[in-house]
């Protein structure tokens, strides 16, 4: 049976491939970079061939000043600040640490070198150079590069994520056979922490018609997070409702413990992430899949959430699926917690991390990968 389940990495890859990313144009230099010779240091601009001879200061240039106000001739120099353009006649910068000022003159304490501390015109790029190919994932530096060459900066936005638990058993004041909705607040808080624009919706009943209506009317959400209703029970309607609406099922059931019933589907522009109903399963699946979806829709690179550390104690695992086991992270080591299954919200609240464990388990001291709890 385990062989029929989709491995986690393949499920993540399917999700990534199925989602659209904002298109971006290539980036070319609109002019030489730098557009003229600039100083890389605070100091004075001078002629290197005059060596250590004293110089008379003509004035000061700051970043953004027009250097045409000065021409450096033998026996003269211009005080200059980082980022300012070199005046005519100057071919070197001596930083302030290599200068002494006395008797109204500047005395170099070192031999200036031609081009010393100068950022040459076109040293980083020439006008027309390709700086970034089209349709590259967007990051902060690439956004800044577009602004640098005068291109429009992509609008910053947050993906709208709607969160709705499912189940007739969810009530505000539960009897012994009922429960409160903890998944809704948990998933909304997680989506918010991951940078989404979050809308918390009322819990949906175990009714196919109500569920279908919610799916047909996403209300501006690009992602709908549901919890429950994706397993094999008589009231687990989400898979069949999605199929009846013509949704593209990306995958249903993955090779992971907890979190096996996980479902992902596209219904038009809406991505539905159908999470299991047990809180640990819902949390783990959301922690794995939601950042990937947000990154692709927002044009960023696929995230890698895995870190590595050593186990402070053994973890036994006899199952046929990889196990994500709750741990405390202390002094750089993972301390396994005595988890009590996918419904154990208490242990989830005490955990700092989930450690990846293959059967038959891992001994103390083993180096393993883990997810950080948000």
Between the CA of residue 214 and those of 113, 205, 211, 217, 226, what are the distances in Å? Answer: 72, 11, 5, 5, 11
Tell me the domain boundaries of the chain.
2-22+156-297, 38-119, 307-372
d(CA 142, CA 25): 11
Contacts of residue 209, Cβ cutoff 8 Å, sequence gap at least 6: none
pLDDT means per 10 residues in the chain (374 residues)? 80 98 94 97 97 97 97 98 98 97 94 97 97 94 95 92 90 88 95 97 90 92 94 79 96 96 96 95 97 97 97 94 97 94 94 96 96 96
Is-contact 116 48, C-beta < 8 A? Answer: yes
* Ramachandran assignment for 283, one of left (phi > 0), alpha (psi -120 to 50 degrees), beta (any other): alpha
Looking at residue 206, its pLDDT comes to 86
Q: In the CATH scheme, what architecture does the domain 307-372 have? A: Beta Barrel (2.40)
Q: Please state, in angstroms and rounded to a whole number, the distance separating the CA atoms of residues 289 and 11.
A: 9
CATH number of 38-119: 2.170.190.11
Question: Helix, strand, or coil here: 367?
Answer: strand
In 3-state terms, what secondary structure has residue 272? Answer: strand
Single pTM value for the model: 0.88
Distance CA 299, CA 135 (A): 9
Residue 1: predicted pLDDT: 44
CATH number attached to the domain at 2-22+156-297: 3.40.980.10
Would you call 273 helix, strand, or coil by DSSP?
A: strand
């Amino acid at each position: 049976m385990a062989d029929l389940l989709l491995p986690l990495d393949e499920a993540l890859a399917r999700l990534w491939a199925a989602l659209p990313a904002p298109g971006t144009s290539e980036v070319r230099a609109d002019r030489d970079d730098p557009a003229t010779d600039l100083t890389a240091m605070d100091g004075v601009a001078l002629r290197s061939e005059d060596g250590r001879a004293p110089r008379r200061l003509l004035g000061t240039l700051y970043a953004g000043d027009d250097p045409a106000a000065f021409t450096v001739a033998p026996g003269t120099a211009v005080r200059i600040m980082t980022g300012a353009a070199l005046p005519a006649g100057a071919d070197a910068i001596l930083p302030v640490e290599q200068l002494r000022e006395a008797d109204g003159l500047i005395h170099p304490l070192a031999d200036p070198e031609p081009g010393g501390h100068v950022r040459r015109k076109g040293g980083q790029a020439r006008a027309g150079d390709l700086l970034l190919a089209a349709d590259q994932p967007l990051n902060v530096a690439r956004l800044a590069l577009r602004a640098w060459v005068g291109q429009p900066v992509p609008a910053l936005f947050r993906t709208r994520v709607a969160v709705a638990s499912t189940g007739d058993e969810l009530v505000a004041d539960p009897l012994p056979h009922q429960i409160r909705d903890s998944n809704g607040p948990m998933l909304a808080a997680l989506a918010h922490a991951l940078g989404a624009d979050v809308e918390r919706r009322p819990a949906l009943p175990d009714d196919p018609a109500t569920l279908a209506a919610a799916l047909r009317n996403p209300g501006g959400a690009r992602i709908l997070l549901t919890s429950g209703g994706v397993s094999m029970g008589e009231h687990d309607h989400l898979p069949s409702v999605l199929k009846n609406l013509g949704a593209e099922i990306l995958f249903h059931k993955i090779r992971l413990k907890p979190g096996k019933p996980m479902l992902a589907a596209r219904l038009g522009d809406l991505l539905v992430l159908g999470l299991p109903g047990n809180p640990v399963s819902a949390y783990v699946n959301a922690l794995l899949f939601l950042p990937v979806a947000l990154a692709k829709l927002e044009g960023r690179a696929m995230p890698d959430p895995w870190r590595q550390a050593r186990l402070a104690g053994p973890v036994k695992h006899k199952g046929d699926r990889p196990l994500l086991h709750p741990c405390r992270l202390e002094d750089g080591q993972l301390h396994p917690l005595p988890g009590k299954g996918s419904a154990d919200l208490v242990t989830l609240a005490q955990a700092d991390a989930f450690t990846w464990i293959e059967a038959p388990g891992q001994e103390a001291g083993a180096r393993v990968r883990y997810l950080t709890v948000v």
